[in-house]
Chain A
């Protein structure tokens, strides 16, 4: 019975998303990049890491659609493999941030008192670091590399999830069905995980989609600063940083990689906005 209800609500949301043109554009863009990332070795025409100095800094042509970089590497192939790096790291980081942030935020909101103060004041400290700076500070300690990047982005994304989960849990826990569960003798953890948390997740899911966009921007931003994944792994921000050096002689380097970042970030933003409209129809005009 419960499963069919869940399936029903999924179809209701999907129908609302389908009606929203922007959300559909976002879904399509995100799916397109996910497919590229999963099937990268079969889709990419060349190896993303192989140097070929004879073809260095060649402009777009039939052989190399997006041209080549200073090492003669095919940019189209690096864009395709770069999707793998960005989406993989962003997905891992956002998942870690969502699970741990929601858990801590939910505990703070549900139990209140000492735990609430402790957890939320800790997140206030993390929130005192603007934007990408906290990630930079974490990379400064841990060093570069993809796993450290995952941790850095997960840590600085966590407070947002915790705040949203906390405020949702605080309002959902006042519902009568939660009181009814308590009257039936259900313990606090059961009430939290079975009744409160599942009904507090809608804004978390929206936040997850929007956070994917921010995470991808941060990954490429850190890559651009030289604090991202280690070369020769294909990564968009690192490639754009290289492009900046050769902009005068090879302007094509600055176009396609940036376009890929822009498109996928826009895809997640459109999707998140559409999801927001579908889950909170009342807020549509805000």
Chain B
């Protein structure tokens, strides 16, 4: 197991390098001179020269990359718009995105696993059709439209919940449901498929022949085995939520990291865009690593590959 974890950690190094180089190069592909952009309108050639020296933009590209990475890790990199440290801007917003994603994954895993089990146990019945219908409905629903419909219903018509912003617990309910809808559909589908596969195996038939109660077979023997791929999909979906939350955040005015990145694109605050995207991408990679390790822990066959 330790070897497996070490091997997976080593694989992270090239991915991390690749992601950081790609994001660093973003700045250089942007049309126009970043120093001029930083200096703002009406800057003198001397101002631009000063900025070029201050941010190391007169250095060779490779030196600039190391300066950029040093800035990320030491927190010296500053937002072009507010001149505050980039990390000071990003971390509180990232925490908001994590809160939203955590509640969403909790809702969607509970709903998705529940529905998936019912659909598999009642295979080919109307319940199964209903769950599969819900599953296709969920993945086809644009999150921003679902958000708008929920606002119309629960904020405009019934006036039960706030239409947006951040405050008490009631503010997070609609965004969490919106963000979790597609995920619950995917989890339901995966749970159903996995349960069906396990239920068709010999050991289940043997348990059945021994006269063990159906409920015990389903919830004790089948479910345990069926959960391995489901745990994986829940983890991967959580990673996707961190990046995909931007649309939900926009509908509900939730001050998350995705929204900060999009706002920073409009205000041309490229350091925030770069570091924000890097934070999300690296978290995504780490979440996937966590999923892989959990998977290997649950299923010993994986470790030997």
A positions within 8 Å CB-CB of B: 22, 121-122, 124-125, 128-133, 136-137, 139-141, 143, 213, 217, 220-221, 224-227, 237, 240-241, 243-244, 247-248, 251, 254, 258-259, 261-262, 265-266, 269-270, 273, 285-286
Most B C-beta atoms less than 10 A away, residue of A224, A240, A269: A224
Q: Min CB distance, A125 to chain B, in Å? A: 4
- Of all A-B residue pairs in the complex, the 6 with the closest CB atoms, nearest first, are A130-B243, A258-B145, A125-B18, A266-B140, A131-B244, A133-B243
A129 contacts B26, C-beta separation under 8 Å? no
Q: Given that A130-B281, A133-B277, A224-B250 are contacting pairs, would A266 and B137 also be in contact in the complex, using a CB cutoff of 8 Å?
A: yes
Residues of A near B145 (CB, < 8 A) are 240, 254, 258-259, 261-262
Chain B residues within 8 Å of chain A by Cβ, number: 50
| 8 A-B pairs with C-beta separation under 8 A | A130-B240, A131-B243, A133-B244, A136-B246, A136-B261, A220-B142, A224-B251, A240-B148
By beta carbon, the residue of chain A nearest B21 is A125
Residues of B near A130 (CB, < 8 A) are 239-240, 242-244, 280-281, 284
Query: B29 within 8 Å of A by Cβ?
Result: yes
Contact of B142 among A139, A221, A225 (CB under 8 A): A221
Q: Which of B65-73, B149-157, B206-214, B292-300 contacts A (4 or more CB under 8 A)?
A: B149-157
B26 contacts A224, C-beta separation under 8 Å? no
Q: Min CB distance, A217 to chain B, in Å? A: 6
A129 contacts B244, C-beta separation under 8 Å? no
Most A C-beta atoms less than 10 A away, residue of B151, B247, B270: B247
Residues of B near A254 (CB, < 8 A) are 145, 148-149, 152
Q: Min CB distance, B50 to chain A, in Å? A: 26
Q: Min CB distance, B227 to chain A, in Å? A: 17
By beta carbon, the residue of chain A nearest B262 is A225
Query: B144 within 8 Å of A by Cβ?
Result: yes
B positions within 8 Å CB-CB of A: 14-15, 18-19, 22-23, 26, 29-31, 136-137, 139-145, 148-149, 151-152, 156, 163, 193, 196-197, 239-240, 242-244, 246-247, 250-251, 258, 261-262, 265-266, 270, 273, 277, 280-282, 284-285
Q: Min CB distance, B188 to chain A, in Å? A: 14
By beta carbon, the residue of chain B nearest A237 is B144
Residues of B near A265 (CB, < 8 A) are 140-142
- Interface of A, secondary structure class, is helix
Residues of A near B197 (CB, < 8 A) are 286
Q: Given that A137-B277, A140-B273, A240-B148 are contacting pairs, would A128 and B141 also be in contact in the complex, using a CB cutoff of 8 Å?
A: no
CA distance in complex: A93, B23 (Å) = 22
Residues of A near B19 (CB, < 8 A) are 125, 128-129
By beta carbon, the residue of chain B nearest A122 is B18
18 more A-B residue pairs beyond the given contacts A254-B152, A258-B144, with a C-beta to C-beta distance below 8 A: A124-B15, A124-B18, A128-B19, A131-B244, A133-B258, A136-B261, A136-B265, A137-B26, A139-B265, A141-B26, A213-B140, A220-B142, A224-B250, A241-B144, A265-B140, A265-B141, A266-B136, A285-B193
Residues of A near B242 (CB, < 8 A) are 130
Residues of A near B136 (CB, < 8 A) are 22, 266, 269-270, 273
Contact of B247 among A213, A221, A258 (CB under 8 A): A221
